[in-house]
Amino acid sequence: RMNKQNEEAHFESLPNKSRHELFIRQCVDILLKEAVFEGTNRKNRLLNFRNPDELKKLFDFELSVHGSTHDELLGLLRDTITFSVKTGHPYFVNQLFSSLDPYGLVGQWLTDALNPSVYTYEVSPVFTLMEETVLREMRKIVGFKDGKGDGIFCPGGSISNGYGLSCARHKKFPDIKTKGLNSLPRLVLFTSEDAHYSIKKMASFQGVGSDNVYCIKTDRRGKMDILDLEAQIIKSIEEGAVPFMVSATSGTTVLGAFDPLNEIADICEKYGLWMHVDAAWGGGALMSQKYRKLLTGIERADSVTWNPHKLLTAPQQCSAFLLRHEGLLAEAHGLNAAYLFQKDKFYDTKYDTGDKHIQCGRRADVLKFWYMWKAKGTNGLVKHIERVFENAEYFTDLIRNRPGFEMVHPEPECTNICFWYIPKSLRDCKDNDNYKERLHRVAPAMKEKMMKEGTMMVTYQAQKGHPNFFRIVFQNSGLNRSDMEHLVQEFERLGSN
Ligand code: ABU
């Protein structure tokens, strides 16, 4: 074994190529050992929480005029892993993404090794055809006839939803592209009060205005109220505005509710509105014959957001925007930049797909998902989905009547389960005036404890006038029944004092 001095001398004597090769190999060893294998081991903590001031002292964030040695860089790599949340850990059940899929990881690493930008066929021949294949298969699964239509990979579900808005508006008012907002009347779109905030955000960003997103009432389960939808459409017409789009949700962010798509499609047809479905979260259920009924009617949508990085556990990020209308994306967003999209190239330039996007440079998010799909086959993806739904059902059965647990809704539809944990000290106080206030403080206190101990991560929120409640999320099919039992017991342990 070389001592440090010898090692550095040895390094200096190597040509750059060998030094870099050695460095990369050392880095890969660290990544595999510490981030991948130790990071997903149930025996290890999934985070090592430090407050920002403390972390700034422990971690060398500052940049310097001098470069760092390879040893220092390896140390920084280790520190990054040490203080980061291991989202592939089985007990990271905090967000609508988790898991560390081995094939997805390799696909992600290969994406970065090749570092493509998917705008032209000449720069990204393989990725362009991969996108064509995967998007067509996704459209078939959605139920668009023969998989016809169009689609793109987007940097996240919010942007995919934004494309829904942009295409819907362009379809009705193609002049928007050149004349801008001045050419338009006041536009109104509709989504449920439980829908993802990106709908309002995108309405602001695209000049529609968040006040012109009419939020439709939901029932106790979180599903859009169809009577209210129609009433709000009529109201907007009476106000002199032009309704143009309904954004339904398949799998709401907190409660996991699925809006009634067939009824929404009927209303969209009646009033001539674009139907977008935000299935960013719930879209994965389409893979399974058993669970796809939750999205019955999605085949009638004009456009769909579906994030494989959520229920299907492709690495972050992998979000698809799919639509039944061929050519509309390019019509709405294309500008034919002469230096990229030359029409006199020697190959079929319909494969220069970049002009459909609002981005120019674009990462190849398709590879990791395509590679996972190749590895598992469609049957493997179906099994994955059925396993996570079964885990969620088992977890629900465990807590439904268990002392200390109270469900927000007794029959969740998706794999996000919402509930209160009620510590013993509060169990007989339901009739007290301050019960809700006291309950509201329980989840944040338990969350602090779980993060400081690093044993699991589950998020909480207040919604629909309820005090804070937990939302646990299952999309890691590596979890089993004993993990579900462990998680329940962990709530009991954390809530015990
Ligand atoms: N795109 C919304 C995901 C946020 C969450 O995990 O709750």
Q: Is the CB of 316 under 6 A from ligand 1?
A: no
Q: Is the CB of 414 under 6 A from ligand 1?
A: no
List of residues 6+ apart from 101 with CB closer than 8 A: 313, 314, 315, 372
Single-letter residue type at 37: F
Section 119-136 average pLDDT = 98
Q: Is the CB of 96 under 6 A from ligand 1?
A: yes
Is the omega angle on the peptide bond into residue 232 within 30 degrees of 0, that is, cis? Answer: no
Is the Cα torsion angle 189, 190, 194, 196 positive or negative in sign? Answer: negative
pLDDT in tens, 448-484: 999 999 999 999 999 989 999 999 999 999 999 999 9
pLDDT of 180 higher than 80? yes
Weakest mean pLDDT among 16-25, 99-108, 415-424, 441-450: 16-25
Q: Ligand 1 centroid to 96 CA: how many Å?
A: 5
pLDDT in tens, 261-320: 999 999 999 999 999 999 999 999 999 999 999 999 999 999 999 999 999 999 999 999
Q: Ligand 1 centroid to 307 CA: how many Å?
A: 11
Of 442, 444, 392, residue with least CA distance to 421: 442
| Six token digits for residue 216 | 């439709």
pLDDT in tens, 228-241: 999 999 999 999 99
pLDDT of residue 10: 65
Pocket of ligand 1, candidates 93, 96, 305: which has the most ligand atoms within 8 Å of its Cβ, to mutate?
Answer: 96
| Six token digits for residue 318 | 């992998």
At residue 467, φ and ψ (nearest 5 deg) are -65, 165
What is the rounded distance in angstroms from the CA atom of residue 85 to the CA atom of residue 63?
23
List of residues 6+ apart from 203 with CB closer than 8 A: 165, 189, 209, 210, 212, 213
Confidence of residue 183 (pLDDT cuts 50, 70, 90): confident
pLDDT of 67 higher than 70? yes
At residue 278, φ and ψ (nearest 5 deg) are -85, 90
**What's the alpha-carbon Rg for the chain, to the nearest Å?**
25
Q: Is the CB of 232 under 6 A from ligand 1?
A: no
Q: Is the CB of 251 under 6 A from ligand 1?
A: no
* DSSP assignment string, 234-274: HHHHHTT-EEEEEEEEBS-TTT--B--HHHHHHHHHHHT-E
Contact (CB, 8 A) for 127 and 135: no
Q: Is the CB of 95 under 6 A from ligand 1?
A: yes
pLDDT of residue 78: 98
pLDDT of residue 17: 77
Q: Ligand 1 centroid to 310 CA: how many Å?
A: 9
Residue 459 alpha carbon, nearest atom of ligand 1:
7
Confidence of residue 16 (pLDDT cuts 50, 70, 90): confident
Q: What is the DSSP letter of 457?
A: B
Q: Ligand 1 centroid to 415 CA: how many Å?
A: 13
pLDDT of 21 higher than 80? yes
pLDDT of residue 159: 98
* Distance, CA of 102 to chain centre: 19
Residue closest via CA to ligand 1's atom 3 equals 96
3-state secondary structure of 276: strand
pLDDT of residue 246: 98
What is the rounded distance in angstroms from the CA atom of residue 201 to the CA atom of residue 151?
22
Going along the chain from its start, the domains and CATH numbers come out as 4-86 (no CATH), 116-372 (3.40.640.10)
Q: Is the CB of 305 under 6 A from ligand 1?
A: no
Is the Cα torsion angle 431, 437, 439, 440 positive or negative in sign? Answer: positive
Residue closest via CA to ligand 1's atom 7 equals 95
Q: Is the CB of 353 under 6 A from ligand 1?
A: no
Residue 158 alpha carbon, nearest atom of ligand 1:
1
Q: Model's pTM, two decimal places?
A: 0.95
pLDDT of 3 higher than 80? no
Q: Ligand 1 centroid to 334 CA: how many Å?
A: 30
List of residues 6+ apart from 9 with CB closer than 8 A: none
Residue 253 alpha carbon, nearest atom of ligand 1:
7
Q: Is the CB of 256 under 6 A from ligand 1?
A: no
This model of the complex carries an ipTM of 0.92
Q: Is the CB of 111 under 6 A from ligand 1?
A: no
Q: Is the CB of 349 under 6 A from ligand 1?
A: no
